[in-house]
Amino acid sequence: MMTKVLLVDDDRELGEMLTEYLDQEGFAATAVQDGETGVRAALSGAYAIVVLDVMMPGCNGIEALRRIRAQDRRLPVLMLTARGDDVDRIVGLELGADDYVPKPCTPRELVARIRAILRRTQVQEPDGASCGPLTAGALTLWPERRSLEWQGQPLELTSTEFNLLEVLVRNAGRVVSKQELSQQALGRPLARYDRGIDVHLSSIRHKLGLDAEGRSPIQTVRGLGYQLVRE
């Protein structure tokens, strides 16, 4: 079956063009022109990923994302943002967007980002690989189930947050550069001035909280990257 993509953008002409291109690339794309309809469609369970424009009248992309994430933390959401608009971009990431593409963008770039996100969210364990959990201190993560527990309790993360934490768990005790994190968790090279990794990790830290000594299990190593402390 073809992967279903929901495109939410009030620009009807752009929506038709992107839908046609996505269909040619093997996706089953549906375009809607307003945030209210987009939220309902996204929460229907019919789509593998949502492409959501920030600038829409009425229920804009930020509000639509907020409402989607209130009910579904795992559905991948790719934001379309105005080029150079860092505020909307950071707010979107803080609310749980998986990634963003600045507009105007080429259909080819959009498809590449969609595929990169889906590769990570629909990852399959290679033949012969262990299906057991990964552990690091009080953290237990099941890659094949895309679920995790922190201090014995289930923890809800977005798909990209899960990807980032999985990379850190697999490298527990070692510093992982932002370039490595971007390649392995987002499926793309780290762009210059890209703060997406930092925003996602800040959200993960907030959800994990602090240990008994007031420290986060994810440490920043200035100038090098991030490290998950192996307890």
- In whole angstroms, give the CA distance from residue 96 to residue 158: 6
Say whether both 173 and 102 belong to one domain.
no
Say whether both 176 and 82 belong to one domain.
no
- In whole angstroms, give the CA distance from residue 90 to residue 93: 5
Structural domains counted in the chain: 2
Has residue 127 been placed in a domain? Answer: no
pLDDT band at 127 (very low <50, low <70, confident <90, very high): very low
Say whether both 147 and 113 belong to one domain.
no
Q: Containing domain of residue 100, as a range?
A: 3-121
Residue in 142, 138, 132, 149 with CA at minimum distance from that of residue 231: 138
For residue 131, what pLDDT is reported? 62
Has residue 103 been placed in a domain? Answer: yes
Say whether both 7 and 111 belong to one domain.
yes
Has residue 128 been placed in a domain? Answer: no
Has residue 60 been placed in a domain? Answer: yes
For residue 50, what pLDDT is reported? 98
CATH number, residue 221: 1.10.10.10
Tell me the pLDDT tens digit for each residue of 34-60: 999 999 999 999 999 999 999 999 999
- Kindly state the helix (H) or strand (E) to which residue 131 belongs, with its residue range: none
Say whether both 109 and 180 belong to one domain.
no
Say whether both 100 and 62 belong to one domain.
yes
CATH number, residue 31: 3.40.50.2300
For residue 42, what pLDDT is reported? 97
Q: Which residue has the tokens 């890659």?
A: 143
Three-state secondary-structure class, residue 154: strand
φ, ψ (nearest 5 deg) of residue 101: -130, 125
* The residue type at 105: C
pLDDT band at 128 (very low <50, low <70, confident <90, very high): very low
For residue 226, what pLDDT is reported? 96
- In whole angstroms, give the CA distance from residue 54 to residue 82: 8
pTM: 0.83
Has residue 44 been placed in a domain? Answer: yes
Say whether both 211 and 104 belong to one domain.
no
Say whether both 168 and 212 belong to one domain.
yes
* The residue type at 47: Y
pLDDT over 70 at 130, yes or no: no
φ, ψ (nearest 5 deg) of residue 149: -130, 140
Has residue 46 been placed in a domain? Answer: yes
Residue where a domain stops, chosen among 60, 86, 121? 121
Greater confidence (98 vs 121) lies with: 98
pLDDT over 50 at 173, yes or no: yes
State how beta strands 153-154 and 49-53 pair. Answer: unpaired
Say whether both 112 and 9 belong to one domain.
yes
Has residue 129 been placed in a domain? Answer: no
pLDDT over 60 at 125, yes or no: no
Residue where a domain stops, chosen among 75, 96, 121? 121
pLDDT band at 180 (very low <50, low <70, confident <90, very high): very high
Torsion region of 154: left, alpha or beta (phi above 0 gives left; psi -120 to 50 gives alpha): beta
Average per-residue pLDDT for the chain: 90
Q: Which residue has the tokens 């986060």?
A: 216
**Percentage of residues in the chain having pLDDT higher than 70:** 95
Residue where a domain stops, chosen among 90, 121, 152? 121
Say whether both 62 and 116 belong to one domain.
yes
Say whether both 33 and 142 belong to one domain.
no
Say whether both 111 and 205 belong to one domain.
no
Has residue 32 been placed in a domain? Answer: yes
Non-local CB neighbours of 67 within 8 Å, separated by 6+ positions: 39, 59
